[in-house]
């Protein structure tokens, strides 16, 4: 798991990812990378 590699609690990692999603929602690079993920990707 990513949280194990980063030595972060899974709940804290999820909070960080959600914060990134909100912070960078309008960023063109974020949109491009996000579009490369499957539609059913959890975040």
Inter-CA distances, 7 with 10, 13, 14, Å: 9, 10, 13
Mean pLDDT of all residues in 5-20: 91
Q: List the structure tokens of 7.
A: 């030595």
Full-model pTM: 0.65
* Structure confidence at residue 1 (pLDDT): 73
**pLDDT, tens digit, for every residue of 15-42?**
998 999 899 999 999 999 999 999 888 7
The Cα–Cα gap between 9 and 31 comes to 26
């Amino acid at each position: 798991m990513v949280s194990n590699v980063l030595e972060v609690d899974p709940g804290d990692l999820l909070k960080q990812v959600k914060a990134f999603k909100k912070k960078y929602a309008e960023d063109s690079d974020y949109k491009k990378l996000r579009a490369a993920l499957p539609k059913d990707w959890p975040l």
